[in-house]
Amino acid sequence: MRIGELAARAGTTTRTLRYYEARGLLPARRDGNGHRAYDERDLRLLRQIRTLQDFGFELEETRPFVECLRAGHPEGDACPASLQVYRRKLAELDALVAQLNDVREQVAGQLARAEHARAGLAAEAMVPGGPEPRCELGGQTW
């Protein structure tokens, strides 16, 4: 198949395929007329790359999976190098989840503090002569 058909079947652009070719991820085979020629194996490589990128893998991180498929393995993650990339990516994700949990705790604490302060102001407003509750946002007072 030609580059346009491969791009359409893979859900990408010919420009992306040329980029992958330049990076050594997609083989650069030519037919008798000098046109790029691809087959189902190439489509499989592209699907592997796209799936990993959808998971947040950088393009270079897909290389061991592509090489594993090129070596004839039925799956791109059947090789030790691919498993190592999975381990490294999981460690990155675990660190991000921990960081997000820390931020979540800080936001929850701020919310609790703000709600407590607001409840205190509302109680004071019910007392005759107490302060009027105010909220200033963007120059407007409510």
Tens of pLDDT along 51-72? 999 999 999 999 999 999 999 9
Do residues 42 and 27 lie in contact, with contact meaning Cβ atoms separated by under 8 Å?
Answer: yes
Write down all domains in the chain, each with its CATH number in brackets: 3-125 (1.10.1660.10)
DSSP 8-state code for residue 42? H
Tens of pLDDT along 21-53? 999 999 989 989 989 999 999 999 999 999 999
pTM over 0.85: no
CA distance 142 to 132: 10
Do residues 38 and 6 lie in contact, with contact meaning Cβ atoms separated by under 8 Å?
Answer: yes
SS3 state of residue 36? strand
